[in-house]
């Protein structure tokens, strides 16, 4: 629903989000900030920041999507649990599952799976994230697999969130990328934010850049076609690894958003998804303060693609046949 109004005379200059939260009593400030960031709230027909000051005579246009009913139900989706106690649950998220409900994905999410898991086990999840994101301290993209930690209590949620905010979490990812980086290791320092023109993407072309740093090491090479990288994010921006690798000219295989259609096929082999996996997660336990680390090496689809690429390099039919039998 689109509404327009003009700031009345006598209104004191203040931030756009502060002005709106006092006017729109049914919406939280964070929700309004998200709408501003998405360009759904405009000032004088221009996309602006939430911190933009309003003044009398300004025209504000709001395009607020109609809310969809949210009745989250547990669903019997299998979970690979790596560790669980009274405070946290650590799991290995498979590729292809959305972490939390959102428009277009109200069912079949990790949250639905967690609700069913705790309903049957008698456990609980932290309520800090709200009813849409209970227990979620961080997230992985739909196509990204790997280790995640879930907070079972509010205390654990706050403790883990602080660790993520202070960048004291240990994280290692692995990815298959297009072509071979010139350097065997390096550090990518590129501030990113929501793209100024394509609002579903993130890039350095943004009105709100945030520092982002990623270390990388090339661990395997597949001729000149592709490479296997270990990634060490020092910050946790949305799409950070995908944007950073694309900025090097080596987008992640299977990622058409940042690499185009060419990266969805390598040496005649179809790439089924974004080849990104969160292999290591380390944090201090919210209660004991003990350093805990969990690892899961590359999933079967990533392993299979690497075996296929190696077989193509050898050009040996027997190697290809062996790889196929192994997958079966």
Annotated active-site residue 141? The verdict is: yes
Q: What are phi and psi of 183, to 5 degrees?
A: -100, 145
User: What are the two backbone dihedrals, phi and then psi, of residue 320, each rounded to the nearest 5 degrees?
Assistant: -65, -40
Q: 161 forms bridges with which residues in the sheet?
A: none
**Residue given tokens 């993209």 in the structure block:** 141
Q: Are 286 and 87 in contact (CB under 8 A)?
A: yes
DSSP string, 217-252: EEEEEETTTEEEEEEEESS--TTHHHHHHHHTT-PB
Selecting among 17, 141, 255, 301, the annotated active-site residue is 141
Gap between the Cα atoms of 281 and 59, Å rounded: 47
- For residues 135 and 27, what is the distance between their CA atoms, to the nearest angstrom? 22
Distance, CA of 228 to CA of 226 (rounded, Å): 7
Check if the beta carbon of residue 274 is closer than 8 Å to that of residue 143.
yes
Q: 130: exposed, middle or buried (C-beta count within 10 Å: 0-12, 13-18, 19+)?
A: exposed
- Residue 116 DSSP class: H
Whole-angstrom Cα distance, residue 250 to residue 228? 11
- Helix (H/G/I), strand (E/B), else coil: 141: coil
- Confirm if 8 and 58 have CB atoms less than 8 A apart: no
Who contacts 238 (Cβ-Cβ below 8 Å, separation ≥6)? Answer: 202
Q: Residue 175 and residue 173: Cα distance in Å, rounded?
A: 7
Angle, helices 29-37 vs 16-23, to 10°: value is: 130
Instruction: Write out the catalytic residue numbers.
Output: 141
């Amino acid at each position: 629903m689109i509404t327009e109004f003009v700031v009345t005379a006598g209104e004191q200059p203040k931030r756009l989000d502060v002005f709106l939260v006092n006017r729109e009593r049914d919406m939280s400030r964070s929700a309004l900030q998200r709408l501003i960031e998405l360009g759904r709230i405009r000032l004088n027909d221009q996309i602006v920041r939430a911190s933009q000051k309003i003044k009398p005579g300004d025209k504000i246009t709001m395009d607020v999507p109609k809310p969809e009913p949210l009745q989250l139900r547990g669903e019997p989706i299998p979970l690979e649990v790596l560790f669980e106690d009274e405070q946290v649950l650590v799991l290995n998220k498979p590729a292809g599952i959305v972490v939390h409900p959102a428009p277009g994905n109200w069912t079949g999410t990790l949250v639905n799976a967690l609700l069913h898991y705790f309903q049957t086990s008698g456990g609980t999840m932290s309520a800090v994230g709200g009813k849409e994101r209970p227990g979620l301290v961080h997230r992985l993209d739909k196509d990204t697999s790997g280790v995640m930690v879930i907070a079972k209590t509010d205390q654990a949620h706050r403790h883990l969130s602080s660790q993520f905010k202070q960048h004291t979490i240990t994280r290692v990812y692995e990815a298959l990328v297009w072509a071979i980086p010139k350097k065997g290791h390096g550090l990518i320092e590129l501030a990113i934010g929501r793209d100024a023109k394509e609002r579903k993407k993130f890039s350095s072309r943004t009105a709100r850049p945030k520092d982002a740093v990623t270390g990388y090491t090339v661990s395997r090479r597949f001729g000149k076609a592709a490479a296997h990288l270990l990634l060490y994010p020092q910050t946790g921006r949305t799409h950070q690894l995908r944007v950073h690798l694309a900025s090097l000219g080596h987008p992640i295989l299977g990622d058409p958003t940042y690499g185009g259609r060419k990266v969805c096929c390598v040496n005649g082999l179809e790439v089924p998804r974004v080849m990104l996996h969160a292999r290591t997660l380390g944090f201090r336990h919210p209660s004991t303060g003990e350093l805990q680390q969990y690892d899961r090496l590359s999933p079967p689809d990533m392993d299979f693609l690497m075996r296929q690429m190696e077989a193509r390099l050898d050009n040996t039919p027997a190697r290809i046949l062996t790889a196929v039998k192994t997958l079966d």
